[in-house]
């Protein structure tokens, strides 16, 4: 596949390839919590208390957001980490969209934060594409209005 601003795209990925062969196991350092359509990454030093997983939104298979999160992590450079992932409402009924806040994990890299817009063609897609890459500078403010 090609690349978009240094991030790989999924062109040429075979949709019939089992998902487990496309995804390596997630690094132990990345934990996340899912709350009403949002995935929040937690630093490794903050243990997650045992809670029952939230119910999947209507029309969404259990575990689908986890699969989406894994696929989105594959778009990132090795030094990057997802700090926040929010599922957005889409104007197209089948398309699934997320807004990611991404930052390198190295110390002092706060100035390299970026917003990524990620698209899935449909709920069960095994591939995602970048629709937007927006670098954030120290004086940038971003507000999300409504429920996405």
Domain edges within the chain: 3-135
pLDDT at 128: 94
Under 8 Å between Cβ of 7 and 133: yes
| pTM recorded for the entire structure | 0.56
Beta bridge partners of 101: 84, 115
- Residues of the chain predicted below pLDDT 70: 1-62, 108-111, 139-140, 142, 146-148
Q: Please, where are the H alpha helices in the chain?
A: 19-22, 64-75
Beta bridge partners of 6: none
The radius of gyration of the chain's CA atoms, rounded to the nearest angstrom, is 15
- Quote the DSSP letter at residue 25: P
pLDDT at 10: 53
Beta bridge partners of 33: 40
pLDDT at 56: 47
pLDDT at 98: 92
Q: Indicate the helix (H) or strand (E) that contains 63.
A: none
Under 8 Å between Cβ of 121 and 95: yes
């Amino acid at each position: 596949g090609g690349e978009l601003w240094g991030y790989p795209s999924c062109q040429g990925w075979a949709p019939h390839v089992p998902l487990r062969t496309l995804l390596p196991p997630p690094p132990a350092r990345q934990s996340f919590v899912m709350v009403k359509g949002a995935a929040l990454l937690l630093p490794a030093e903050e243990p997650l208390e045992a809670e029952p997983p939230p119910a999947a939104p209507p029309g969404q298979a259990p575990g689908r957001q986890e699969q989406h999160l894994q696929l989105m992590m594959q778009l990132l450079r090795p030094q990057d980490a997802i700090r926040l992932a929010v599922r957005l409402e889409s104007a197209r009924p089948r398309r699934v969209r997320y807004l990611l806040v991404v930052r390198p994990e190295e110390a002092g890299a706060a100035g390299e934060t970026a917003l990524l817009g990620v698209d899935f063609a449909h709920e069960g897609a095994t591939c995602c594409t970048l629709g937007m890459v927006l670098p954030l500078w120290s004086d940038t403010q971003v507000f999300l209005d409504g429920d996405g």
